[in-house]
Amino acid sequence: MRTLALVRWEIVQTIRGLAPHMAITLVSLASAGLVAVGVFLLDLWSPFPSTPAGVLRTDNNNSAQALSLLGEYRGGVVFMAILAWLVLLVSLVGPAFTAGAIVRDRRSGRLDRVLADASRADAVALAKLLAGLIPIGIVLLGVGPSTSFAWLVGGMATREAIASVGVFLIVVVLVAAIGLLCSAVATTEVAALVASYVAVAGLLLGPLVAGVGLGLAGFRVAAGVVLSFDPLVAMLSVQTRFAFGFTRTILPEWTGLRLIWTIGKTRLPVWAVDVLVYALLAVVLVWLTSVIIEPLHPLKTWRVRRAPLISR
């Protein structure tokens, strides 16, 4: 009950602030503007290929082939673009809602009282995480109507849409967990915010840059493995046929993205493995946050607890 009361108090304090309402307004207006631009571009360019979906063309004109491929999977491409926009929003507003959660309470002296009332640091860390996820989710709901544009131009398979959203949701949790850990480590809100943005940028762009660098250096197998752990690539890999055709068209000499992990006799899609990895990483980050904010955590006091045994 104490944990639930703590979660409720944290959420109420976060929602009462001005930042979530301003973020919702700005995000909704920006998303509506993007949809308007999409409708305008659709009026100028409407590629409706006559070749059945799933067929990979083999002509030598890569530019024409790429345009035809984009037109063939236009619904999935638009949905991927909307998810990329959502990932950008999360990377901007996520740290803003979580990076100052703990460092602010520590400087005001409230953190010690909360730890004493909750009696468990992991409950406090979880409450802080939920308190950050709620406003982030509310802000993202402002983009919700914009996703209908993907179905206006053709849509995509329900299974692929659900899998893409699943990857995106766990990325949201991971971004919030990163901001929470930076808030526990930093001594000021500015330092926590800057560290959060750097860490989130490393999560989103690190594997992408490293994979491209390895590919240019000739290590294409290693590049495919590294790229598979990028969140944007994970969402793209959900659309298996489009991902394969896109890489073969844009980079004909590339070995292609790794779309399936083979573990023994088990074959798992890359996006499913990434979801498990991201979820595990988020749990570890929240646990590390609880260790940092707990003054008497066993990992911090093991030397003191062993001291009497050593003296004997």
CA distance 20 to 300: 36
> Cα 88 to the chain's mean position, in Å?
9
- pTM, 2 dp: 0.80
How many helices (H) and strands (E) the chain has is answered by 15, 2
pLDDT of residue 246: 66
Query: How does pLDDT run across 101-120, given as a tens digit for each residue?
Result: 888 888 888 777 777 776 77
CA distance 185 to 22: 28
pLDDT of residue 37: 67
Residue 246 and residue 139 in contact, taking contact as beta carbons nearer than 8 Å = no
pLDDT of residue 178: 94
CA distance 293 to 267: 40
Q: At what angle do helices 158-185 and 101-108 cross, to 10 degrees?
A: 30
pLDDT of residue 143: 75
Enumerate long-range contacts of 59-63, CB under 8 Å, 24 or more apart. Answer: 62/249, 62/250, 62/252
CA distance 131 to 133: 6
Query: How does pLDDT run across 9-31, given as a tens digit for each residue?
Result: 666 666 666 556 566 666 666 66
Select from 126, 101, 111, 123 the least CA-distant residue to 2: 123
pLDDT tens digits in sequence order for the chain, 312 residues long? 556 666 666 666 666 665 565 666 666 666 666 666 666 666 555 544 444 444 434 444 555 565 666 666 677 777 888 888 888 888 888 888 888 888 888 888 877 777 777 677 888 888 888 888 888 888 887 777 777 777 777 667 788 888 888 999 999 999 999 999 999 898 888 899 999 999 999 998 888 888 888 877 877 778 878 888 888 888 888 877 777 766 666 665 555 567 777 777 778 888 888 899 999 999 999 999 988 888 766 666 655 556 554 444
Q: What's the Rg (C-alpha) of the chain?
A: 23
Show the tokens assigned to 220. Answer: 């294409």
Tell me phi and psi for residue 165, to 5 degrees: -65, -35
Non-local (6+) Cβ contacts of 264 within 8 A are none
